[in-house]
Structure 1
C-alpha cells in the first residue's frame, strides 16, 4: 500500500509546490543579530513567569495573522508587556518562523524582568513596564560588517538609498525598502530596509530612523551595516537581502492549474482509500482465521496435558455455576468458587469466547505460563493466576506485598519457596509457616545458620518471631487484609502489637485428584451453539 500511494503522493506534492507563491520560498532571516537581558530581577518569579507565558501565547496568535503582536498581562511589578514584529518584506509564513525562533530564545532571560532580541527578519521584546512608544534609548547601537568597500561610488549609493528609506517609511506604516545602483558597475547596487514598530507615531518613527541612519552611516566603508534602535531597525548591504515582492501572474491559467491539481489529488485520495479498505478487510479476515486456529490449539493443549476435569465434576462443585458462588468476572469469563467431593476448595473460570480472536490471547497466556520454571514462579498445573487477578481480572499493589512476605519467610527459614518439576509435591514455605504458627512451633523453622543457641537474649528470638508474623500478614489470602508496604516496613521497625494473620491462599496438593479426560469432556468446537466453552481450566494457587 505504501508503494501504491508513494508515486501519486509525490505527484501531488510537486503540483502543490509549483503552485506556492514566490514569497513562500523567501528567506525568513531568522539569524540572531543581538540578544540582551535586563538587570532587574523579577518581583515574584511564579506570577511573572505565568504572565510571561500567557503574554507570549497571545502575541504569537496575533503574529500568525498580521505579522505583529502586542499584549499586556498582569499588573504592578509582576506585569508583562510584550511586542513582536516582523519586517515588512517577510511573508506570514516566514514571519511565523522568525518570531518562533525569537520566542524560543527570549525565555533565557528568566529570572530577569526584561529581554530584547533582534533577528534579521523580526524583533521581539518583553519587559515589566510599557515601552511601546519609546523610540530611542541607551541600548541603541550598530552592527557593522567585516568586509570593507573602498569604492566611493558604493558609499554614495548607500547614503542615497538610506536617505530614501528614511523619507518614505514614516508615511508607509513605518516600512520602506530602497535600491540604488552603483555607478560605474554592471549590476551592483546598495540595498536598504527601514522599519519602525507599529506602536510609534509617524513623527516618532521619523525621529527613530533619522537617529538610526546617522549611526549606521558610521559603518561605511563596510559593505554592510545595521542599526538596532529601541523603536526601529535599519540595514544596508551590497547584497540583495530583501525578499521579492510576490508577482500576480496569469490568474486564469493559475486557476486552471489549481483545478487540475485538486482533481488529481481527489482521485489519488479515492484510490488510496479503496486500497486501504481492501487491505484492512484482508487483515480482519486473517485475524478471524488465526483466532479459530488458536481455539483448536487451546483445546489440544489442554487435552494433551491432561489439564481437564470432567464437566460434570466442575458443574457439581460449583452448584451448576450458581450465581451465589460467583467470585467475579475477569477478562475471559466469570470465576466461581467450588468445593470438590474431598472438601478441597477450588476456583473455576468459565470461559466465554464469543469472539474467536480472544481465544488467541488466552492461548498465548496459557502457552507462556506453562513453559515457565523459575524459583519465584509456580508451575502451571491447571492454570495459575494470583487470587486477586483471577477474581477481578487485574493485579493490585497488594500482589507485591505478598511477594515481600514470602521474602521475609525465606530469610528467616533459609528455605526457598519454590518447587521444580523433578521434586515431589510438598507443602510450600508459606503453608508450612502457617501450620507452625498455628501450632506455636515457629522456632522449628529458624535457619540453623542463625546459631541462636549462641545468644541468650530472648529479645532476638522474639524479633525473629515477629518477622515471621509480619510475613504471614503479608501473605494472607485476601489482598484487602494485607498491610500496605509502608505499613509492613513500619511494623518491622516499631514494636506495635500485631494483629492475628488469617490463612494464606494454599491447597494441599498431595490430596489432589488425578485428572480424567475420558468422560464427557466438552469441547468448544463440538458445541458451537453453547455460549460458554466448557474446556474449563482448574486453577490451583500457591504462594510465590
Structure 2
C-alpha cells in the first residue's frame, strides 16, 4: 500500500480545516435556544415514528420554511410542526432547524415537546394541535435587563401594534421598526410570526394576547413571547448605519457574529495555505537534492 505523500496529507488537512471553519461561521445567535419545553407525562411512543416525523418536517422546512407531519396511531401517534420565521433564507433555515432537531428529541418519550429559537420553532405531540393558538404553557422571556425610558417604551408599543396589524394578512409574518423621537438615536425592532396552520383570525388573536403579555417586560430593552400559536420579540439597538435592513439584521443578531468569524476564518485559511504551500515547496526541494546526491 502506498503511503500518503505530505502534499496529499496537507490537502486533506486544508479541506478539514475549511469545513470546520465553515461550521463555526454558521453558529449564529438566531439559532440559539430561547426555551425548550417538555411535557410533564411520559408516553412510550415509538422512536422510529418520532424520527420519521422529524425527518419529514425537516425536509419540508428546507424547501418551504415550514412543515407538518404525523406518524403512528392512537396514543402512540406523533404529530409534528416546524417553522422558520418569515425573514429567513434557505441557509438560515438549515442552521436553525438542524439545531432544533438536535435538541427536541431530548424530551422523548415525553407526551409533548416544543422548542423556541430566535429563528424557528418545532413542536411534537401525541394529538393534533395544529389549530391551537393559546395554551397553559404560554409565557414571556425578558432579556438584557437594561431599563429604558418612557420614550422608548411608547415607541416599542407603537412598533408592536404595527407588527400585529400587518402579520395576519401577510402570511402570518411581520417585522417593524420605529425610531425613538429625540436625540437618543435608538430604534425599537419587533418581529411577529404565527404558525402556518392557523387561520387569519387565530393568528390575530394569538398576536394580540402574546403582545400584551410580552410588553410586560418593559421597561427592559428586550422581550419575547413564546405562545402556542405564535412568537414575538422586541428589542432596542442604537443606530450605527443608515441601511435599515442591515440594522434590523444586527438588531436580531442575524449576521453580526458571522461577519467577524468569516473575516477571521479567511485570514486563518490564507495563513495556513501559505504555510502549507511553503512546506510542500521545501519538501520538494529537499527531495530533488536527495535525488541529485544519489545520482552522483
Question: TM (normalized to structure 1)?
Answer: 0.40
In the alignment, structure 1 residue 237 sits paired with structure 2 residue 235: yes
Which is richer in strand?
Answer: 2
The residue number in structure 2 matching 1:147 is 145
Equivalent in 35, 46, 49 of residue 47 of structure 2 = 49
SS in 2 for 1:225: strand
SS in 2 for 1:99: helix
Instruction: Kindly indicate whether the alpha-carbon contact (under 8 Å) linking 1:146 and 1:222 is maintained by their aligned counterparts in 2.
Output: yes
Structure 1 segments of 4+ aligned residues over 4 angstroms from their partners: 24-28
In the alignment, structure 1 residue 80 sits paired with structure 2 residue 78: yes
In the alignment, structure 1 residue 208 sits paired with structure 2 residue 219: no
Please report how far the alpha carbon of residue 50 of structure 1 lies from its aligned counterpart in structure 2 after TM superposition: 1.6
The residue number in structure 1 matching 2:34 is 33
SS in 2 for 1:177: strand
CA distance in 2: counterparts of 1:174 and 1:53, whole angstroms: 28
CA distance in 2: counterparts of 1:96 and 1:185, whole angstroms: 40
Q: CA RMSD in A?
A: 2.4
CA distance in 1: counterparts of 2:90 and 2:98, whole angstroms: 12
CA distance in 1: counterparts of 2:66 and 2:253, whole angstroms: 19
Please report how far the alpha carbon of residue 187 of structure 1 lies from its aligned counterpart in structure 2 after TM superposition: 3.0
Unaligned 5+ segments in structure 2 are 1-5, 238-250, 256-296
Instruction: Kindly indicate whether the alpha-carbon contact (under 8 Å) linking 2:214 and 2:225 is maintained by their aligned counterparts in 1.
Output: yes
Higher relative contact order (CA 8 A, sep 6+): 2
Please report how far the alpha carbon of residue 143 of structure 1 lies from its aligned counterpart in structure 2 after TM superposition: 0.4
Please report how far the alpha carbon of residue 25 of structure 1 lies from its aligned counterpart in structure 2 after TM superposition: 7.8
Matches within 5 A, 1:4-403: 27=28, 29-43=30-44, 45=45, 48-185=46-183, 187-239=185-237, 240-241=251-252, 243=254
Instruction: Kindly indicate whether the alpha-carbon contact (under 8 Å) linking 2:30 and 2:253 is maintained by their aligned counterparts in 1.
Output: no
Please report how far the alpha carbon of residue 40 of structure 1 lies from its aligned counterpart in structure 2 after TM superposition: 2.4
Please report how far the alpha carbon of residue 49 of structure 1 lies from its aligned counterpart in structure 2 after TM superposition: 1.5
SS in 2 for 1:65: helix
Unaligned 5+ segments in structure 1 are 18-23, 245-544
SS in 1 for 2:177: strand
Say which is worse superposed, 157-166 or 108-117, in terms of deviation: 108-117
CA distance in 1: counterparts of 2:174 and 2:202, whole angstroms: 15
Instruction: Kindly indicate whether the alpha-carbon contact (under 8 Å) linking 2:30 and 2:254 is maintained by their aligned counterparts in 1.
Output: no
Please report how far the alpha carbon of residue 150 of structure 1 lies from its aligned counterpart in structure 2 after TM superposition: 3.4
List per-residue Cα deviations over 1:65-118 (Å, max 9, x = no partner). 111111011111111000110111111111111111111111111221211111
Q: How many residues align?
A: 227
Instruction: Kindly indicate whether the alpha-carbon contact (under 8 Å) linking 1:67 and 1:96 is maintained by their aligned counterparts in 2.
Output: no
